[in-house]
Homo-oligomer: A and B are copies of this chain.
Amino acid sequence: MSKWPKHVTIKEVGPRDGLQNEPTVIATEDKIVWINQLSKTGLTYIEITSFVHPKWIPQLADAFDVATNIERVPGVTYAALVPNQKGLEKALAAQVDEVSVFMSASETHNRKNINKSIDDTYSVLAEVVHEAKSAPKTVRGYLSAVFGCPYEGAVSVDQVISVSEKLFEMGIDELSFGDTIGVANPRQVEKVLDSLLKRFPKEKLAMHFHDTRGTALANVLVSLEMGITTFDSSLGGLGGCPYAPGASGNVATDDLLYMLCGMNISTGVDREQLTEAALFIQNKIGRTLNSHHLLAISSCCS
């Protein structure tokens, strides 16, 4: 029974990756209450916001207020996404513990999202990473479209490796591999991880799955078998399609925790307190969120 690890770190990305896709604007004070609840669940990592220009993500325009008004619980890393130098300056002023930079493994997806070629993105990120490391802060990278691109379709493993190498050369501490459109399957995850693990230490790799086609937890399972112990997730599946109940984005923290708890893999996260936090934000969003867990407890048939 040694094929699964004993402990997994869950990195909660709901306040950033989840909320940024929600059309219902959540009040700053509600975000603060919610993040304070999350801080008490036993989660050790919360990505609390993104310091992007409010023009792009109005939902997160209160990044500075959120970051400076939450209660910082010792042992919890409070991270924020930064797209560039300007974002980094604000994040540092707000005294976040860690910053995240992001780019795509797909040329077209990168151009559509960041408005730059992959090559032109490197120099921007290198500067951000350098400054952040001098602050000194730890830096996380997000690589999106690792398992497929909405524009290009397949993304080659060589391309994933090549971009990953550049990011690690810049000095990032961890890289999170995103199945942005939720197309990955376990054999593909095994194949990609097999290549990655030949080049990078597993402690520096995190997986970021979406459950769009129902494969997220199967992909987590095969990642566990490959030795990965860090997973991103979003409470309640926040960030799924707001107009189609059940149409999932990020794998839900509560679903991930259900599986890991059942498998006796420790996470340090308390399920009851997590459910309380899920119900709080669900109430503020004003509709049943997309996690299987929340759908099951809100359903007549469970």
When A292-B211, A292-B213 are in contact, do A298 and B244 touch as well, CB less than 8 Å? yes
CB-CB contacts below 8 Å: A245-302 with B: 245-249, 251-252, 255, 258-259, 262-264, 288, 290-293, 295-296, 298-302
B259 and A218 contact, CB distance less than 8 A? yes
- Output the residue of A181, A184, A217 with the most chain B CB within 10 A: A217
A301 and B4 contact, CB distance less than 8 A? no
Q: Could you tell me the distance in whole angstroms from the C-beta of A232 to the nearest C-beta in chain B? A: 16
B213 and A247 contact, CB distance less than 8 A? no
In the complex, whether A240 has a CB less than 8 A from a CB of chain B is: yes
In the complex, whether A227 has a CB less than 8 A from a CB of chain B is: no
**A132-145 vs B: 1/0 string, CB under 8 Å?**
00000000000000
Cα distance A251–B217 when bound, in Å? 13
CB-CB contacts below 8 Å: A188-212 with B: 188, 190, 211-212
Cα distance A264–B255 when bound, in Å? 27
B187 and A4 contact, CB distance less than 8 A? yes
Total chain A interface residues with beta-carbon distance under 8 A: 53
Q: Could you tell me the distance in whole angstroms from the C-beta of A238 to the nearest C-beta in chain B? A: 13
B187 and A243 contact, CB distance less than 8 A? no
Which residues of chain B have C-beta atoms less than 8 A from A27's C-beta?
none
- Output the residue of A21, A185, A240 with the most chain B CB within 10 A: A185
Shortest Cβ distance from A191 into B: residue? B1
B245 and A246 contact, CB distance less than 8 A? yes
In the complex, whether A241 has a CB less than 8 A from a CB of chain B is: yes
Q: Could you tell me the distance in whole angstroms from the C-beta of A300 to the nearest C-beta in chain B? A: 5
Shortest Cβ distance from A222 into B: residue? B221
Tell which of B244, B248, B262, B298 touches A187, judged by Cβ atoms closer than 8 Å: B262
In the complex, whether A216 has a CB less than 8 A from a CB of chain B is: yes
Shortest Cβ distance from A188 into B: residue? B262
In the complex, whether A87 has a CB less than 8 A from a CB of chain B is: no
Cα distance A216–B295 when bound, in Å? 15
The chain A residues found within 8 Å of chain B, CB to CB, are 1, 4, 21, 181-188, 190, 211-218, 220-222, 240-249, 251-252, 255, 258-259, 262-264, 288, 290-293, 295-296, 298-302
In the complex, besides A213-B258, A246-B295, 12 extra interface pairs with C-beta distance below 8 angstroms are A183-B262, A185-B258, A186-B221, A211-B214, A212-B296, A214-B292, A214-B293, A221-B222, A241-B302, A243-B299, A244-B245, A247-B292
